[in-house]
């Protein structure tokens, strides 16, 4: 579960790679899932991307599956 803290740098959440509650930079990216050019415009999906500021590990999750 993500929680906010008193800093301006990000959100703290548990990092599975380093095993600590650390600040994560969180963003939303729109990704194209289709490899076919004619369907690419219809296959864009939002993804939540979190990057641990301690170890640099990145984790992404498709928002429709959250």
Q: What is the pLDDT of residues 28-56, one digit of tens each?
A: 999 988 777 777 777 889 999 999 999 99
Query: Would you say 54 and 21 are in contact if contact means Cβ atoms under 8 Å apart?
Result: no
Residue 57 confidence (pLDDT): 96
Say yes or no to pLDDT of 7 above 90: no
Query: Would you say 53 and 60 are in contact if contact means Cβ atoms under 8 Å apart?
Result: no
Domain that holds residue 60: 3-65
d(CA 66, CA 63): 5
Residue 39 confidence (pLDDT): 75
Cross-strand bridge partners of residue 51: 25, 58
Q: What percent of the chain has pLDDT over 90?
A: 58
Is 0.75 surpassed by the pTM of this model? no
d(CA 32, CA 30): 7
Count how many domains the chain has: 1
């Amino acid at each position: 579960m993500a929680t906010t803290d008193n800093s301006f740098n990000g959100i703290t959440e548990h990092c599975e790679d380093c095993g600590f509650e650390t600040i994560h930079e969180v963003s939303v990216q729109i990704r194209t899932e289709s490899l076919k050019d004619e369907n690419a415009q219809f296959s864009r999906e939002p993804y939540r991307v979190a990057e641990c500021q301690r170890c640099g590990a990145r984790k992404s999750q498709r928002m429709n599956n959250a």
